[in-house]
């Protein structure tokens, strides 16, 4: 497909890059310049729910890059919801421990929003909300996990990486595995086929 459109992932996320790479999607990476804190504060003032907030963030990342190119641009965002509250990535290992102590033995959801633009316009949106059921964990188990996993887990909003050691923390997951990782792959692949970006 020599005339296939370029694909750009508007994200600095290593796991989102890995998801596209594993499906052998030809893509480039451009990290968007978006102040997420400003968007979150404005959205809070508006009383915006978490799902539209996640989509607003995905669209902002997507359009920041799409304004500069005619390529297909993929933007994504993920928000963790637990007990009616939104959570950001933990800043320290102590905060990560507190997060795991709080969520162990309970269920939480990950709101995954994906927005795709072409020729400077949003052409597609997708929202997934998988639910993760964490098993009951002792403080000693959480400490052992954090010691083994290391500070890399600070890149995960839930303080775990389900694709690595974090899988040991859960009883089950309901929903799309790729949405848990941060990019809903199957509906995205369908969109890329429709746009002529991939052959199959």
Active site residues: 77
Please choose, from the candidates 175, 185, 190, the residue with its C-alpha nearest in 3D space to the C-alpha of residue 21. Answer: 185
Q: 74 pairs with which residues across the strands?
A: 9, 116
What is the C-alpha separation between 159 and 166, in angstroms, rounded?
9
End-to-end CA distance of the chain: 11
Backbone dihedral angles phi then psi of residue 117, each to the nearest 5 degrees: -120, 150
User: What residues contact residue 42 under an 8 Å CB cut-off, 6+ apart?
Assistant: none
CB 106 within 8 A of CB 136: no
Give the pair of three-digit tokens for residue 4.
């296939």
User: What residues contact residue 5 under an 8 Å CB cut-off, 6+ apart?
Assistant: 70, 71, 72, 118, 195, 196, 197
């Amino acid at each position: 497909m020599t005339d296939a459109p370029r694909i750009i992932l508007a994200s600095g996320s290593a796991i989102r890059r890995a998801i596209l790479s594993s499906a052998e999607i030809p893509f480039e990476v451009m990290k968007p310049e978006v102040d997420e804190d400003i968007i979150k504060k404005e959205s809070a003032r508006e009383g915006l729910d978490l799902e539209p907030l996640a989509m607003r963030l995905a669209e902002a990342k997507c359009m920041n890059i799409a304004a500069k190119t005619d390529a297909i641009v993929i933007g994504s965002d993920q928000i963790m919801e637990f007990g009616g509250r939104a959570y950001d990535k933990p800043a320290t290992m102590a905060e990560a421990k507190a997060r795991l102590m709080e969520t162990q033995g309970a269920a939480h959801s990950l709101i995954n929003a994906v927005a795709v633009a072409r020729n400077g316009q949003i052409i597609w949106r997708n929202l997934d909300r998988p639910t993760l059921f964490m098993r009951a964990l002792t403080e000693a188990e959480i400490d052992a996990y954090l010691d083994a996993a290391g500070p890399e887990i600070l890149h995960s909003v839930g303080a775990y990486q389900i694709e690595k050691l974090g899988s040991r923390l859960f009883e089950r997951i309901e929903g799309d595995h790729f949405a848990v990782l941060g990019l809903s792959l199957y509906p995205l692949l369908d969109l890329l086929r429709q746009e002529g970006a991939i052959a199959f």
